[in-house]
Chains A and B, each alone.
Chain A
Amino acid sequence: MLSHLTDNLELWRIGLTNTVMLTALGVFFGFFVAIPIAAARLSSNKLLSKAAFGYVYIVRGTPLLVQIFIIYYGLGQFHKELKAIGVWWFFRDAFNCGLLAFTLNSAAYQSEILRGGILAVPKGVIEAGSALGLTTLQIFRRIIMPITVGRMLPAFGNELVLLLKASSLVSIITVRDVLGQARFIYAQTFDLSVFYIAALNYLIVVMIIEAIWRRLERRNAWLKYTGN
């Protein structure tokens, strides 16, 4: 079994890199897409809040694999139009399509985490910021967001781990992630044990994520003391 690992080190390295990049970039970009979605959800503007709710509803209500197919195969049908507006280079690459699907998907889940966290920031703390003369944007960036992100760290860690495992779906649209490489080697050897190696890869990444998260939670020392 180990010969599958040692003989194909370069393949596994590429696979692991693809998996980690897809997950990390998906969550990273997803976070920045999630901020305006969460803000829209919480907005008093009915249209904005409904639109954001609709987005979250559709994304959470459909399988990630379907979303990946729609972006990769579905948009592929419009390659003439996409070429005309000069974005075909992006959509012709399966990795990019997977990353886009992850970003849009994770944004929906993260926006809900953010929304819950923002609602849990005590109103009085926000008022204190206003009373001190801070602008709405300063209050959002320096008070609401750090409190929310700190409190929601466990939920974000959970989302990261879930997306890592869901990232294996991109192997279906020809991306050579960890599972993609496993399938490639399996096709040549018909030895099912390559999937143990794939599983081990994911486990190791999860362990690393958990170690990073423990550090992040330690750095937010205030969480230990917060009663309000």
Chain B
Amino acid sequence: MSATAIDRDIDNSQMHVSDEVVIEIEKMSKFYGAFQVLHDIDLQVRRGERIVICGPSGSGKSTLIRCLNRLEEHQEGRIVIDGVELTSDLKNIDKVRSEIGMCFQHFNLFPHLTILENCTLAPMLARQTPREEAEATAMRFLEKVKIPDQAGKYPGQLSGGQQQRVAIARALCMKPRIMLFDEPTSALDPEMIKEVLDTMVELAEEGMTMLCVTHEMGFAQAVANRVIFMDQGRIVEENEPSAFFNNPQNERTQAFLSQIIGH
């Protein structure tokens, strides 16, 4: 767990948080068989909010965000995304997934497709976007993440940091209104973490609603509105970053923070 510094001024002119609630989680619980991984999670996310979720491994933070686009199924309670409740109704799942973009710890690019094809596959198949339009959009986002010159290469030819930036571009090509990040920098060498965080900061500056599972406390301090600490499947503490880091209330939060900041 590191704290790569965000060494630039954050342009917060577009970082408004509206009153509109885009994610509403009510008393949500999830079980793997008899084992309960998430206990009565309550969380509201408003449009434009940037939330960082941290906690020890096994605390359920990845599972929580994976429930939001139904990569995991919850058993109790409600999850409502932009007015659509997640149930086993496939139509609702499709609708929610088209609103939400996701980046994974291990990037999960399609190894058999070029960088450009990685970015155009979903728009062309799920949205029936014509190829030319999908390619133009893809190139725009690849420029945004600063790797347009790699468009013809395969994922295996890129560094980890580049792959993660492609994964961000690929998600953006579906024009999501919410982005989920599941430990996006945990599999990266230290020198590549910064390039990915910079991309995420830019996204935040444009007003994207973001939920990030990460231990990058520098990122949390620079752009998050709220930091959530999870332990053993529960939200133990949530607060705005300065209060969270300087004055944690719960002793488990204190222990966790002293561990990751202590060295």
B95-154 residues at the A interface, CB under 8 angstroms: 97-98, 100-102, 104, 106, 108-113, 121-122, 125-126, 154
> Which residues on the A side are within 8 Å of B113 (C-beta)?
222
By the criterion CB–CB under 8 Å, are B100 and A226 in contact?
no
By the criterion CB–CB under 8 Å, are A225 and B156 in contact?
yes
Q: Does B61 contact A (CB under 8 A)?
A: no
Q: Does B71 contact A (CB under 8 A)?
A: yes
A132 in complex: contacting residue of B97, B106, B111, B112, CB < 8 Å: B97
Q: Main secondary structure on chain A at its contact with chain B?
A: helix
> Which residues on the B side are within 8 Å of A220 (C-beta)?
112
A147 in complex: contacting residue of B94, B101, B104, B112, CB < 8 Å: B112
Query: How far is it, in angstroms, between the C-alpha of A228 and the C-alpha of B156 when the chains are bound?
Result: 8
By the criterion CB–CB under 8 Å, are B126 and A222 in contact?
no
Question: Among A86-94, A138-146, A192-200, A209-217, which stretch is in contact with chain B?
Answer: A138-146
CB distance from B256 to the nearest CB of A (A): 27
By the criterion CB–CB under 8 Å, are B122 and A133 in contact?
yes
Q: Contact residue range for chain A?
A: 20 to 34
Q: Contact residue range for chain B?
A: 20 to 34
A146 in complex: contacting residue of B102, B112, B174, CB < 8 Å: B112
Between A and B, how many residue pairs show CB distances below 8 Å? Answer: 81
By the criterion CB–CB under 8 Å, are B106 and A228 in contact?
yes
Question: Among A30-38, A42-50, A119-127, A178-186, which stretch is in contact with chain B?
Answer: A119-127
Measured CB to CB, the nearest residue on chain B to A128 is B108
By the criterion CB–CB under 8 Å, are A125 and B156 in contact?
no
Query: How far is it, in angstroms, between the C-alpha of A131 and the C-alpha of B170 when the chains are bound?
Result: 11
Query: How far is it, in angstroms, between the C-alpha of A166 and the C-alpha of B156 when the chains are bound?
Result: 38
6 nearest A-B pairs in the assembled complex, by CB-CB distance: A225-B156, A132-B122, A128-B108, A124-B108, A131-B102, A133-B97
B interface residues, Cβ below 8 angstroms from A: 69, 71, 94, 97-98, 100-102, 104, 106, 108-113, 121-122, 125-126, 154-157, 167, 170-171, 174
